[in-house]
Chain A
Amino acid sequence: MSEIVGPGCQRGIPGNLEMPLAVERLPNGNTLIADAGDEAGFGSEIIEVNSVGSIVWNYNEGLRFAHSGRRLKNGNTLITDTTNNRLIEVHPDKRIVMNSDEWGRGTGHLSDGSHLHYPNEAFELGDGTFLVTDRNNDRCIQVDRNGKVIWSFEKELHHPHHANVLPNGNILIADSDGNRILEVNRKKEIIWSYGDGSKETLWWPRGALRMRNGNTVITDSKNHRILEVTREGKRVWTFQTDHVDKFYITSVTEQGTFLIASTDGHHQVIEVDRTGNIVWLFRNYRRPAPIYARLTNGFFKEVGEDGIPRHWVLATRLSEGGGRLIWDYENKPYPCPGLDYDRPGGLFLQQNIAVKAGETYRVGAEIKTIEVQGVACLHIDFYDALGGSLYRDITEMPSGEYFTGTNDWSHDLFEVKVPQQATFAQIRLAINHSGKVFIRNLMMNPM
């Protein structure tokens, strides 16, 4: 029997802003936002909103986990369609006028024989070429509209997410998994950097911009703060919230305010001034997945029409286009579900459950793994009133055992205390890298 205490909404409703990643203020005063979509892979779109929050334009055809939308000089919009590994240019009437899939005679190959892999950001340069942060290829490239690679920088990069050109022609790169910001010149020399690689200085920085005063604004994502640092590396301004909000990209407006996309942290775009006041905000979020009164179908006996256990969500947003739900039909007395995964990123089977703040719950299940090269585990994420996770990083979330390799069925039992700010829990079976994980007899009760 299922009892829903917080209903979900239909997935993919245009304008529902699930995960804002890139944001920019347009010359007409409107704001262009890239929405990466919901956890199940629906609803990725580019939206343009005016100052009172009305959506005046959107593009959502076929996008998967789109990370950026940038308005070009010609009025078109350049989109990094991340999970689809492509770059497209869209006319205001929604015609695609350039598609990287057509490069290399329809193979999508660039002139150097490579293919875009999880492109995150793209900016137009003065000569009409594009600067693309090609994340999973660990590089930043300049390409023309025909896929000709004009310049490339890949030295020492670890999953860069953002790169833009400075007035002097140098490139400022956010090397996210390297926990650094780099300024490189056209000769590919690193001429400035910030961050010593430690999480304390920068933790998964998603973007950096050079301001007119010569300082650099850094979006220090997992430290949920925005920093302004001088050329000498001195921190002169910080914007930080007391809650976890994984700011993704910050841009600076003509007025000197900062536009911040706050991902699926709080599902909103905020504009803050120098004193940290929020002077503009756009939020249009409804949660698609319902919240159940208690763990529902934890024994996975009921199967939905889509072949997924009923009341569960297969979260593919981060699965980079791979992964699937599988069933172990040999399992007795009835089949049990599992996740089969084969690439970077991760795949989750999850459910939202109402919990009481301060209460301790015991969570347990039986888990089996086959050749897991990364990690498989059962964990719990807690969400605040605005629908943001309370944890900065997945490894901070309360979890059972971290399984690697091949393990026969074993009991996984752990306790979690619900944080005071939590409004609901999301229980997840997770896997990353590759392998298979199966689950059965999942239970969760207050102690």
Chain B
Amino acid sequence: MAMDREISEKRKRQCLKWVEISKGIVRQAFERFKPEELGITWTGGKDSTLTLWIIRQVCEEKKLPLPKTMIIGEGDEFLEIEEFVERIKKEWNVPLEVCRNEDVLKAAHYKLNAAVKVRDLNDRNRAELERIGFDEEEFPFEAESYVGNHLMKTVVFNEFLERNKIKGIFQGLRWDEHPARFNDEYFEYKEGGYLMPEHTRIRPILHFTEKDLWDTYAAFKIPYCSLYEKGYRSLGAKTTSLISMEGVPAWEQDLENTEERAGRRQDKEKAMERMRKLGYM
């Protein structure tokens, strides 16, 4: 679906400017890397879909096919996201690879919270566990745990880069989504290391605020996943994503004064007041 919200001409011009800045970053990426050395990370969420939409425009202008696109299958996806991804894949002709850590899924018998025995995993996954300092015999299969997150997302990401010899990978991160992102750069070179291929992370939409992003969706009728209309502001795994405001579309919520990744952290402000009582630090 696309939004039929009215955006003023002035605001539309602002959004276009942000889009043009992003396209500039994408063009630079195509100058630095061969098309086959580039990859895209996509989740079906608002940030990576906007990024994909922008890359697609640059590809059309350069008459190039879209770079290889990865989507991580964690085994805990929303049906709405799956349907949206399937539709856009067809409409935009996305060369999509669904990437999952099949070895872990198998060891967990494809069941959430199942105990995964480390000895049931393959060499690569065992080496990955050693690398991050995990030396237990088992762990529960949960995408949002440290171990789950690493095996289901980071390892799968690194393997995608390796398998496709990707040197530059597009990511849909934004500065305002999380304090840890404030100083992110459009191009970040990552040195290779043990189990980690050398690559450059390219983040064309860093400068979009959450509000800019939704206004851009409305201004250019960009399709998005229906869950955002139900009140989700940030989508992750099904069991850990929470609706911020029931029935209130993401773009109608108070984007500037509340946390994008709310849910569990909603009462952080109150908690901060309690924390501040410590004084000395």
Q: Which residues of A line the B interface, CB within 8 A?
A: 159, 176-177, 204, 294-295, 298-299, 318, 333, 344-346, 358, 360, 362, 364-366, 374-375, 377, 389, 393-395, 398, 401-402, 404, 411, 413-417, 419, 432-433, 441, 443, 445, 447
In the complex, what residues of B have CB within 8 A of residue A333's CB? Answer: 136-137
In the complex, what residues of A have CB within 8 A of residue B90's CB? Answer: none
Known: A401-B265, A441-B146. A204 touches B134 (CB 8 A): no
CA distance A430 to B75 in the complex (A): 34
The CB with the most chain A CB atoms within 10 A, among B133, B179, B183, B267, is that of B133
Q: Which residues of B line the A interface, CB within 8 A?
A: 131-137, 142, 144-147, 149-150, 154, 178-184, 264-265, 267-268, 271-272, 274-281
Q: Are B133 and A395 in contact (CB under 8 A)?
A: no
Known: A364-B145, A374-B274. A417 touches B182 (CB 8 A): yes
In the complex, what residues of A have CB within 8 A of residue B137's CB? Answer: 333
Query: With contacts defined as CB atoms under 8 Å apart, how many contacts are there between chain A and chain B in the complex?
Result: 96
Q: Are B272 and A395 in contact (CB under 8 A)?
A: yes
CA distance A445 to B194 in the complex (A): 13
CA distance A417 to B276 in the complex (A): 23
The 7 closest A-B pairs by CB, nearest first: A364-B146, A402-B271, A394-B281, A415-B180, A375-B275, A395-B272, A411-B145
Q: Across the two chains, which residue of chain A brings its CB closest to B137?
A: A333
Distance (whole angstroms) from the CB of B74 to the closest CB of chain A: 14
19 A-B pairs within 8 Å (CB atoms) are namely: A176-B279, A298-B133, A345-B278, A346-B281, A360-B180, A362-B149, A377-B275, A393-B281, A394-B281, A398-B180, A402-B267, A404-B267, A411-B144, A417-B184, A432-B277, A443-B132, A443-B147, A445-B131, A445-B150
Distance (whole angstroms) from the CB of B182 to the closest CB of chain A: 7
CA distance A298 to B150 in the complex (A): 17
Besides A402-B268, A416-B180, 19 other CB < 8 A contacts? A295-B133, A345-B278, A346-B278, A364-B145, A364-B149, A374-B277, A375-B271, A377-B275, A393-B281, A394-B275, A395-B275, A402-B271, A402-B275, A404-B267, A417-B183, A432-B274, A441-B136, A441-B146, A445-B133
Q: Across the two chains, which residue of chain B brings its CB closest to A360?
A: B180
In the complex, what residues of B have CB within 8 A of residue A416's CB? Answer: 180
Q: Are B178 and A415 in contact (CB under 8 A)?
A: yes
Distance (whole angstroms) from the CB of B144 to the closest CB of chain A: 6
Known: A401-B264, A402-B271. A413 touches B144 (CB 8 A): yes
CA distance A364 to B267 in the complex (A): 20
Distance (whole angstroms) from the CB of A348 to the closest CB of chain B: 9
In the complex, what residues of B have CB within 8 A of residue A395's CB? Answer: 272, 275-276
CA distance A378 to B146 in the complex (A): 14
CA distance A445 to B184 in the complex (A): 18
CA distance A179 to B128 in the complex (A): 50
CA distance A334 to B134 in the complex (A): 15
Distance (whole angstroms) from the CB of B171 to the closest CB of chain A: 12
In the complex, what residues of A have CB within 8 A of residue B144's CB? Answer: 411, 413
CA distance A394 to B149 in the complex (A): 27
CA distance A433 to B267 in the complex (A): 17
Contact among A398, A404, A414 with B271 in the assembled complex (CB-CB below 8 Å): A404
Q: Across the two chains, which residue of chain A brings its CB closest to B184?
A: A417
CA distance A417 to B134 in the complex (A): 22
Q: Are B279 and A159 in contact (CB under 8 A)?
A: yes
CA distance A364 to B131 in the complex (A): 15
In the complex, what residues of B have CB within 8 A of residue A295's CB? Answer: 133
The CB with the most chain A CB atoms within 10 A, among B131, B147, B181, B275, is that of B275
In the complex, what residues of B have CB within 8 A of residue A344's CB? Answer: 277
In the complex, what residues of A have CB within 8 A of residue B265's CB? Answer: 401-402
In the complex, what residues of A have CB within 8 A of residue B182's CB? Answer: 417
The CB with the most chain B CB atoms within 10 A, among A299, A358, A411, is that of A411
Known: A415-B178, A443-B132. A432 touches B278 (CB 8 A): yes
Known: A401-B265, A415-B180, A445-B132. A365 touches B275 (CB 8 A): no
CA distance A295 to B275 in the complex (A): 25
CA distance A309 to B272 in the complex (A): 28
CA distance A413 to B152 in the complex (A): 14
Q: Are A318 and B281 in contact (CB under 8 A)?
A: yes
Distance (whole angstroms) from the CB of B193 to the closest CB of chain A: 9
In the complex, what residues of B have CB within 8 A of residue A389's CB? Answer: 281
Q: Are A443 and B278 in contact (CB under 8 A)?
A: no
Contact among B145, B178, B181 with A413 in the assembled complex (CB-CB below 8 Å): B145
Q: Across the two chains, which residue of chain A brings its CB closest to B182?
A: A417
In the complex, what residues of B have CB within 8 A of residue A411's CB? Answer: 142, 144-146
Distance (whole angstroms) from the CB of A283 to the closest CB of chain B: 21
In the complex, what residues of B have CB within 8 A of residue A374's CB? Answer: 274-275, 277
The CB with the most chain B CB atoms within 10 A, among A344, A345, A360, is that of A360
Q: Are B133 and A318 in contact (CB under 8 A)?
A: no
Q: Are A443 and B133 in contact (CB under 8 A)?
A: yes
In the complex, what residues of B have CB within 8 A of residue A398's CB? Answer: 179-180
Known: A432-B274, A433-B274, A445-B133. A204 touches B279 (CB 8 A): yes
Distance (whole angstroms) from the CB of A292 to the closest CB of chain B: 12
In the complex, what residues of B have CB within 8 A of residue A318's CB? Answer: 278, 280-281
CA distance A366 to B142 in the complex (A): 12
CA distance A394 to B268 in the complex (A): 13
In the complex, what residues of A have CB within 8 A of residue B179's CB? Answer: 398
In the complex, what residues of A have CB within 8 A of residue B178's CB? Answer: 415
Q: Across the two chains, which residue of chain B brings its CB closest to A391?
A: B281
Q: Are B180 and A413 in contact (CB under 8 A)?
A: no
Q: Across the two chains, which residue of chain B brings its CB closest to A420?
A: B183
In the complex, what residues of B have CB within 8 A of residue A432's CB? Answer: 274-275, 277-278
Distance (whole angstroms) from the CB of A157 to the closest CB of chain B: 14
In the complex, what residues of A have CB within 8 A of residue B154's CB? Answer: 447
Contact among B135, B268, B272, B274 with A299 in the assembled complex (CB-CB below 8 Å): B135
In the complex, what residues of A have CB within 8 A of residue B267's CB? Answer: 402, 404
Contact among B134, B135, B278 with A394 in the assembled complex (CB-CB below 8 Å): B278
